[in-house]
C-alpha cells in the first residue's frame, strides 16, 4: 500500500502500525470528512472465501456496538481481493506502550481508573453477545482525553455465530489468554474477565502474573500455576483488591466472577467510573509525559501491613478450598476438625510433674514398668489395644516407650506415604482394585491430591471393568476434573454417562441412579425416556439407594 491511495471513498493518510492481523492506516472519509482508521487483513486471510463470508457476517454484528469505551467499527470494505475494516480513529497511545516506556508499575487508583472503563466497555459488548477473546494492553488505547478505548475486535466471537476457528485451536495472546483458551476452547465472557485481570495485575506489579521460557511453558503456567500474591510487596494494594484479582484469575471459569460488573464492583473500581477519565488525564505519565512520576504513597505502618498480609493469606486459603472437588472439601473439613479436636484434647491435659501422680492416672499406668514416663502415652494406649491395628492406624507402637502423641504429624505422614507405596506397588502389578484405591488416594488425600494421577489410575481400573472405578471416573468427568475436556460441558456429560452405564450394567447402585437421572432429564446425549429411567431407579432402589427410592416415587 503506497501513499496517497484511495480505498473506496477513504483517502489513506499514513501508516499507524502493523500487527498479527495486518496493517492499520490513518485515513479520511471523503464523504463525511472525518478521520478513520483502516485495518487491512493479511493476504492469506482473504484467500479463503469461507473466512471472508463469516468475517463479514460477524463484522456486521460488531458494527452495532456503540459505546464510549469501545473503538467503533464503522464498516467492512471488500475491494478486489482485499478485505478492510474501517474504524474510529483514536488519538492516544496503547497501554502496552505506556507501560513499556514507564518501566515500572502504575498506581492503584490510576490502574482502577483504566479497568473500570475497560470493564464497562466489555460488559456492554457481552450484553450484545460479543466476546473479544484478545484483551491485552496493546488493545486498550489510552485516549488523550483520558478515556479508555477497547480496540481490535478482529478475532471477536459473536455468541451463537459460526465459529471462525477449528475446535482445539488456541485463539488469543498467550500472556493474557485464559486457561480454557489455552486448551483450545472458544472462551466466553469469563475469558475476557480473566484477560482483563491479567492486564490489571501487570499494571500493578510491573509484569504479568505468568511467564515461561517457551509458549508451551507459558500456556502450562496459565493452566496450572497460581499467580504470586500482591500483598504486601506492591504498595497500596489492599487485600480486597488482591482477592478480587485472584478470584478473576481462577483456573476454572465457574470460580470467577459472573460478569465484568461484579469484578469492577469487587475491586472498588466502579466508584471511580465518573472520575476515571479525569484521573487518567491528571496522571501525566499516562497521556502526556511518560517520565512523569506518580504521587509517592504514604508509608504504611507495620501493624497495617501485618493485618493486610493476614487477610490476603486467609483469602487465598478460602479460594483454594472453594476450588477443591466437593469430595476433597469434605475430607479437608474432616481433617481440620480432627486436628482441632486433637489439639484441644492434648492442650487440655493437666500438666503433671514426674514426681506426682493424680488419682485418675492409676487406670492408665503401665503395669509392666510402673514408670511415670508412660503416663502420657498410655492414656491413649488403652484405646489402641481395644481396637485391632491396621494400615490406617497412625499411633506409635504400644510396646514402644515414647512420649510422642498418637496423632504426631510425622507419624501420620509416614503412614500415608507407606500406604501410597503399598497401594502403588500392587497397582503396578495390574491389580484393578489397587488401581482404583490408588486413584482415590490421589483424589481425596489432603496434601497429596494429584488429579492427573487420580484420573490415570481410575481409568486403568475402569478399563479393567471395576464398577467403582467406572463410577468415580464418571464423576471426575462430570465435575470438570479432566483437563482434556474440562471446557466442553456436553462432551464431559456424554463421557460420564458412558462410564456410568458400564458401571450400572455391572450392578453399581449409584451409577444406576445417575443413569436414571440422565434418562429422566434427556441429557448427556440420551433421549428422554421415563420408562428407562424407572427401570434404572428400580434397580438402584432394590439395592437400597435412598435417592433412587425418592426418585422412583416422584417419577411414578
- CATH architecture label of 5-88: 2-Layer Sandwich (3.30)
Cα–Cα–Cα angle for 375, 378, 382, rounded to 5 degrees: 145
pLDDT tops 50 at residue 358: no
Dist CA 186 CA 488 (whole Å):
10
How many other CB atoms are found less than 10 A from the CB of residue 354?
Answer: 9
Is 0.85 surpassed by the pTM of this model?
no
pLDDT, tens digit, 9 for 90 and up, residues 26-41: 999 998 889 999 988 7
Dist CA 65 CA 259 (whole Å):
18
Task: Return the pLDDT at 317.
Answer: 67
pLDDT, tens digit, 9 for 90 and up, residues 132-158: 888 999 999 999 999 999 987 756 566
* Mean pLDDT across 315-322: 63
Report which of residues 79 and 348 the model is more confident about.
79
pLDDT tops 70 at residue 110: yes
| CATH number listed for the domain at residues 92-294+301-322 | 1.10.510.10
Task: Return the pLDDT at 470.
Answer: 95
C-alpha torsion sign, points 267, 270, 271, 275: positive
Mean pLDDT of the chain: 77
**Is 275 an active-site residue?**
no
Beta bridge pairs of residue 85:
39, 76
Report which of residues 161 and 541 the model is more confident about.
541
pLDDT tops 90 at residue 393: no
Report which of residues 223 and 331 the model is more confident about.
223
pLDDT tops 80 at residue 218: yes
pLDDT tops 50 at residue 322: yes
Q: Half-sphere exposure of 242 toward its Cβ, with a 13 Å CA cutoff?
A: 25
pLDDT, tens digit, 9 for 90 and up, residues 49-103: 766 665 665 676 677 788 999 988 888 787 777 778 888 899 999 999 999 988 8
pLDDT tops 70 at residue 376: no
* Mean pLDDT across 364-391: 34
Q: Among 305, 318, 187, which residue's Cα sits nearest to residue 247?
A: 318
Task: Return the pLDDT at 123.
Answer: 94
Please, which pLDDT band fits residue 489 given cuts at 50, 70 and 90? Answer: confident
Catalytic residue among 3, 120, 134, 397: 134
- Supply 469's cell numbers: 472405578
Beta-carbon contacts of residue 466 (< 8 Å; ≥ 6 apart):
432, 433, 435, 436
* Mean pLDDT across 413-436: 88
Can 92-294+301-322 and 465-555 be said to share one CATH topology? no
Please, which pLDDT band fits residue 199 given cuts at 50, 70 and 90? Answer: very high
Task: Return the pLDDT at 159.
Answer: 59
Dist CA 211 CA 495 (whole Å):
34
pLDDT tops 50 at residue 421: yes
* Mean pLDDT across 253-262: 94
> What does DSSP say about strands 73-79 and 140-143: parallel, antiparallel, or unpaired?
unpaired
Report which of residues 504 and 303 the model is more confident about.
504
Report which of residues 359 and 527 the model is more confident about.
527
- φ, ψ of residue 7 to 5 degrees: the values are -120, 105
pLDDT tops 90 at residue 437: yes
pLDDT tops 70 at residue 500: yes
Task: Break the chain down into helix, strand, coil percent, rounded to 5.
Answer: 55, 10, 35
Task: Return the pLDDT at 451.
Answer: 86
Dist CA 218 CA 182 (whole Å):
9
| CATH number listed for the domain at residues 465-555 | 1.25.40.10
For residues 423 and 437, the answer to whether their CB atoms sit within 8 Å is yes
* Mean pLDDT across 292-312: 55
pLDDT tops 80 at residue 161: no
pLDDT, tens digit, 9 for 90 and up, residues 8-29: 889 999 998 876 567 889 999 9
Long-range contacts of 539-546 (CB under 8 A, 24+ apart): 539/504, 539/507, 539/509, 539/512, 540/509, 540/510, 540/512, 540/513, 540/516, 543/507, 543/509, 543/512, 544/509, 545/509, 545/510, 545/512, 545/513
Task: Return the pLDDT at 213.
Answer: 82
How many other CB atoms are found less than 10 A from the CB of residue 291?
Answer: 9
- Phi-psi map region of 208: left, alpha, beta (phi>0 left; psi -120 to 50 alpha): beta
How many other CB atoms are found less than 10 A from the CB of residue 23?
Answer: 15
Q: In this predicted structure, which of 269-278, 325-334, 519-528 has the lowest mean pLDDT?
A: 325-334
Domain assignments of the chain as residue spans, ordered by start: 5-88, 92-294+301-322, 326-350+357-407, 465-555
Beta-carbon contacts of residue 382 (< 8 Å; ≥ 6 apart):
363, 364
Q: In this predicted structure, which of 223-237, 295-309, 442-456 has the lowest mean pLDDT?
A: 295-309
Dist CA 536 CA 497 (whole Å):
13
pLDDT tops 60 at residue 465: yes
Report which of residues 278 and 170 the model is more confident about.
278
* Mean pLDDT across 189-193: 94
- Supply 117's cell numbers: 472503563
Amino acid at each position: 500500500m503506497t501513499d496517497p491511495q484511495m480505498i473506496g471513498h477513504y483517502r489513506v493518510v499514513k501508516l499507524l502500525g502493523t500487527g498479527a492481523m495486518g496493517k492499520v492506516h490513518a485515513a479520511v472519509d471523503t464523504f463525511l470528512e472525518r478521520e478513520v482508521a483502516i485495518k487491512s487483513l493479511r493476504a492469506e486471510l482473504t484467500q479463503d472465501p469461507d473466512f471472508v463470508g463469516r468475517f463479514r457476517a460477524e463484522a456486521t454484528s460488531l458494527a452495532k456496538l456503540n459505546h464510549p469505551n469501545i473503538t467503533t467499527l464503522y464498516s467492512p470494505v471488500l475491494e478486489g481481493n482485499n478485505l478492510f475494516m474501517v474504524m474510529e480513529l483514536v488519538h492516544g497511545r496503547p497501554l502496552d506502550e505506556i507501560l513499556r516506556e514507564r518501566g515500572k508499575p502504575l498506581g492503584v487508583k490510576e490502574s482502577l481508573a483504566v479497568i473500570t472503563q475497560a470493564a464497562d466497555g466489555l460488559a456492554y459488548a457481552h450484553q450484545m453477545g460479543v466476546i473479544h477473546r484478545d484483551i491485552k494492553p496493546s488493545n486498550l488505547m489510552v485516549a488523550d482525553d483520558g478515556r479508555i478505548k477497547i480496540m481490535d475486535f478482529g478475532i471477536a466471537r459473536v455468541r451463537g455465530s459460526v465459529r471462525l476457528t477449528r475446535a482445539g485451536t488456541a485463539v488469543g495472546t498467550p500472556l493474557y489468554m485464559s486457561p480454557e483458551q489455552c486448551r483450545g476452547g472458544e472462551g466466553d465472557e469469563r475469558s475476557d474477565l480473566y484477560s482483563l485481570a491479567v492486564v490489571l495485575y501487570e499494571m500493578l506489579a510491573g509484569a504479568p502474573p505468568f511467564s515461561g521460557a517457551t509458549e508451551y511453558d507459558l500456556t502450562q503456567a496459565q493452566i496450572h500455576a497460581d499467580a504470586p500474591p500482591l500483598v504486601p510487596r506492591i504498595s497500596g494494594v489492599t487485600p480486597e483488591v488482591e482477592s478480587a484479582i485472584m478470584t478473576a484469575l481462577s483456573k476454572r471459569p465457574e470460580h470467577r466472577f459472573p460478569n465484568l460488573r461484579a469484578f469492577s464492583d469487587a475491586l472498588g473500581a466502579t466508584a471511580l467510573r465518573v472520575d476515571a477519565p479525569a484521573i487518567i488525564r491528571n496522571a501525566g505519565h499516562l497521556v502526556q509525559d511518560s517520565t512523569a512520576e506518580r504521587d509517592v504513597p504514604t508509608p504504611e505502618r507495620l501493624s497495617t501491613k501485618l493485618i493486610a498480609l493476614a487477610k490476603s493469606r486467609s483469602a487465598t486459603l478460602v479460594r483454594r478450598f472453594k476450588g477443591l472437588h466437593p469430595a476433597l472439601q469434605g475430607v479437608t473439613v474432616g481433617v481440620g476438625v480432627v486436628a482441632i479436636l486433637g489439639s484441644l484434647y492434648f492442650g487440655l491435659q493437666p500438666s503433671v510433674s514426674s514426681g506426682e501422680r493424680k488419682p485418675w492416672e492409676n487406670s492408665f499406668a503401665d503395669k509392666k514398668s510402673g514408670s511415670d514416663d508412660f503416663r502420657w502415652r498410655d492414656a491413649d494406649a488403652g484405646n489402641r489395644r481395644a481396637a485391632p491395628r491396621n494400615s490406617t492406624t497412625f499411633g506409635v507402637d504400644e510396646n514402644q516407650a515414647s512420649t510422642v502423641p498418637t496423632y504426631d504429624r510425622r507419624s501420620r505422614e509416614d503412614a500415608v506415604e507407606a500406604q501410597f507405596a503399598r497401594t502403588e506397588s500392587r497397582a503396578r502389578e495390574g491389580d484393578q482394585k489397587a488401581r482404583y484405591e490408588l486413584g482415590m488416594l490421589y483424589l481425596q488425600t489432603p496434601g497429596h491430591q494429584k488429579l492427573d494421577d487420580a484420573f490415570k489410575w481410575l481409568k486403568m481400573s475402569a478399563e479393567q471393568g471395576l464398577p467403582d472405578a467406572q463410577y468415580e471416573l464418571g464423576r471426575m468427568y462430570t465435575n470438570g476434573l479432566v483437563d482434556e475436556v474440562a471446557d466442553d460441558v456436553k462432551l464431559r456429560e456424554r463421557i460420564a454417562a458412558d462410564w456410568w452405564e458400564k458401571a450400572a450394567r455391572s450392578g453399581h447402585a449409584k451409577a444406576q441412579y445417575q443413569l436414571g437421572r440422565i434418562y429422566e432429564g434427556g441429557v448427556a446425549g440420551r433421549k428422554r425416556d421415563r420408562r428407562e429411567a424407572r427401570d434404572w431407579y428400580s434397580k438402584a432402589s432394590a439395592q437400597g439407594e435412598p435417592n433412587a427410592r425418592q426418585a422412583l416415587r416422584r417419577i411414578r
